[in-house]
């Protein structure tokens, strides 16, 4: 057993978690100690994988994914996590089924869950809907478990909703922890979560909301920057302020990218659609107003185009602490002259930080593994000890 794994195991066993057969929907619903346990476990699983040691924890059982939007990295992260833990993956293709609204969510949630351990859901397209849908599925599972229909209530893992993208934000935090040495070291570090220009439209708000909703809990100096009108959901912004105050950090909203970048230790420039546009879009989609949607997209793109200067260039990076802030992105980024004519980041800056963004992404399968493990194991500390003691290199 590597000394780092042994050290992590002992630390993990001191952390109390209360996730057994629970859902994981929004990071801010969970106490700091629980988040630390997740970070610790994700890192431990990563170390075990690096050492060629299996952390398979289940003999059988299904992990179901429901993707209501396209996905590559989260899809493969979920598949990898399920496989690594020993669960079989089944994707619910809603075009071949009846999961929809009202009565049927309740029914289908139970019908697919008789031998299911975890349900991962991505539902990030419509403001006001994704989180609500996950809660509906959760209520249906609780109902089924209470009535004895389900032997064990499966856990829901939010793979991105309209409010939060917790597996992304937690993977980002894992990466910051590695990069800066510890969570404690993040105290006082300045992170700029800023809007950036993109020629596309309708990008969800969940990443910036997830970042300000998580990073304000560790004493960081969090700056949210976006052009006038590109607001996030007000409740999340308010929460970020409250959390920053409680953690001894700072939270400030600005309409200047430069101000956010000034002396920043970390920058996270990323496009999103304005809150009110997403609201309007959801309304128009509900009534299938194609003409209205076309107008909205046109207006929105025209508005975006006024802010092409919100690009993460070398000049902008030079404003940051020591001119070398850590650049972060959930990927794929809109890279100027590579994936589009003008985008979120210059090719030069992206190329410089390309490998760090891959490292950032590499934590996601392990974060999802940790969430699956913690929501299913009654005594995760004892189970992890078993896994660690069992481990042996599998590649002869």
Would you say 144 and 110 are in contact if contact means Cβ atoms under 8 Å apart? yes
- Minimum distance, C-beta of residue 241 to its own copies, in the bound complex (Å): 34
Would you say 220 and 173 are in contact if contact means Cβ atoms under 8 Å apart? no
Q: Which of 105, 115, 253, 321 binds its own copies (CB under 8 A)?
A: 115
- Minimum distance, C-beta of residue 81 to its own copies, in the bound complex (Å): 8
Residue in this structure with the two tokens 């929809």, named with its chain if needed: 100
- Sequence-separated (6 or more) residues with CB below 8 Å from residue 85: 55, 56, 57, 58, 63, 369, 372, 373
- Minimum distance, C-beta of residue 383 to its own copies, in the bound complex (Å): 4
Whether the link from the prior residue into 251 is cis, omega within 30° of 0, is no
What residues are paired with 90 via a beta bridge? 64
2 touches its own copies (CB under 8 A): no
Nearer to its own copies, 102 or 234 (CB): 102
Q: Which of 17, 40, 116, 198 binds its own copies (CB under 8 A)?
A: 116
Order of strands, sheet of 221-225, starting from the edge strand that comes earlier in the sequence: 250-254, 221-225, 190-194, 266-269, 326-327
Q: Which of 12, 58, 197, 268 binds its own copies (CB under 8 A)?
A: 58
Would you say 130 and 166 are in contact if contact means Cβ atoms under 8 Å apart? no
- Minimum distance, C-beta of residue 332 to its own copies, in the bound complex (Å): 6
CB count within 10 Å of CB 209 equals: 28
16 touches its own copies (CB under 8 A): no
Q: Which of 14, 31, 56, 242 binds its own copies (CB under 8 A)?
A: 56
Chain positions 303 to 362 lying near its own copies, rule: CB under 8 A, are 331-332, 335, 338-339, 355, 358-359, 361-362
| Beta strand spans in the chain (E) | 62-67, 88-91, 116-122, 155-158, 190-194, 221-225, 250-254, 266-269, 326-327
User: CB under 8 A: which stretch of 54-62, 220-228, 266-274, 312-320 binds its own copies?
Assistant: 54-62
- Minimum distance, C-beta of residue 294 to its own copies, in the bound complex (Å): 24
Instruction: Write the binding mask 245 to 284 for its own copies: x where contact by CB under 8 A, - elsewhere.
Output: ----------------------------------------
- Sequence-separated (6 or more) residues with CB below 8 Å from residue 180: 186, 189
Q: Which of 19, 84, 170, 225 binds its own copies (CB under 8 A)?
A: 84
Would you say 258 and 319 are in contact if contact means Cβ atoms under 8 Å apart? yes
- Minimum distance, C-beta of residue 357 to its own copies, in the bound complex (Å): 9
389 touches its own copies (CB under 8 A): no
Residue in this structure with the two tokens 């760090």, named with its chain if needed: 356
Chain positions 141 to 180 lying near its own copies, rule: CB under 8 A, are 144, 147-149, 151-152
Q: Which of 3, 16, 59, 288 binds its own copies (CB under 8 A)?
A: 59
- Minimum distance, C-beta of residue 303 to its own copies, in the bound complex (Å): 26
User: CB under 8 A: which stretch of 7-15, 95-103, 230-238, 287-295 binds its own copies?
Assistant: 95-103
Q: Distance between terminal CA atoms of the chain?
A: 17
For residue 70, give the DSSP letter: -
Nearer to its own copies, 85 or 317 (CB): 85
């Amino acid at each position: 057993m590597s000394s780092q794994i042994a050290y992590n195991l002992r630390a993990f066993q001191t952390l109390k978690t209360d996730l057994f057969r629970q859902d994981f929907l929004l990071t801010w619903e969970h106490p700091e100690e629980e988040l630390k346990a997740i970070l610790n476990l994700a890192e431990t699983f990563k170390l075990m994988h690096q050492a060629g040691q299996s952390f398979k924890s289940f003999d059988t059982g299904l992990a179901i994914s429901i993707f209501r939007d396209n996905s590559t990295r989260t899809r493969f992260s979920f598949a990898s996590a399920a496989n690594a833990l020993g669960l079989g993956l089944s994707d619910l293709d809603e075009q071949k089924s009846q999961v929809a609204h009202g009565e049927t969510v309740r029914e289908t949630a139970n019908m697919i869950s008789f031998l299911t351990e975890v349900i991962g859901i991505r539902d990030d397209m419509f403001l006001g809907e994704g989180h609500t849908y996950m809660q509906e599925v959760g209520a249906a599972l609780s109902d089924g478990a209470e009535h004895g229909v389900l032997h064990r209530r499966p856990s829901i893992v939010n793979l991105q909703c309209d409010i939060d993208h917790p597996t992304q934000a937690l993977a980002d935090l894992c990466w910051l922890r590695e990069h800066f040495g510890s969570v404690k070291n993040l105290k006082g570090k300045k992170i700029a979560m800023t809007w950036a220009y993109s020629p596309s439209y309708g990008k969800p708000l969940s990443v910036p909301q997830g970042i300000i909703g998580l990073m304000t809990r560790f004493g960081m100096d969090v700056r949210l920057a976006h052009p006038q009108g590109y607001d996030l959901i007000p409740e999340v912004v308010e929460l970020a302020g409250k959390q920053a105050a409680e953690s001894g950090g700072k939270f400030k909203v600005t309409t200047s990218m430069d101000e956010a970048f000034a002396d920043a230790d970390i920058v996270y420039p990323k496009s999103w659609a304005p809150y009110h546009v997403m609201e309007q879009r959801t309304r128009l989609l509900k009534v299938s107003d194609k003409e209205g949607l076309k107008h909205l997209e046109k207006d929105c793109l025209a508005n975006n185009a006024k802010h092409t200067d919100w690009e993460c260039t070398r000049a902008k990076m030079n404003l940051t602490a020591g001119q070398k802030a850590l650049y972060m992105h959930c990927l794929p980024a809109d890279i100027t002259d590579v994936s589009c004519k003008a985008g979120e980041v210059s090719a030069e800056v992206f190329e410089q930080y390309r490998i760090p963004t891959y490292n950032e992404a590499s934590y996601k399968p392990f974060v999802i593994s940790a969430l699956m493990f913690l929501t299913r194991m009654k005594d995760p500390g004892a189970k992890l000890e078993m896994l660690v003691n069992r481990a042996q290199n599998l590649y002869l």
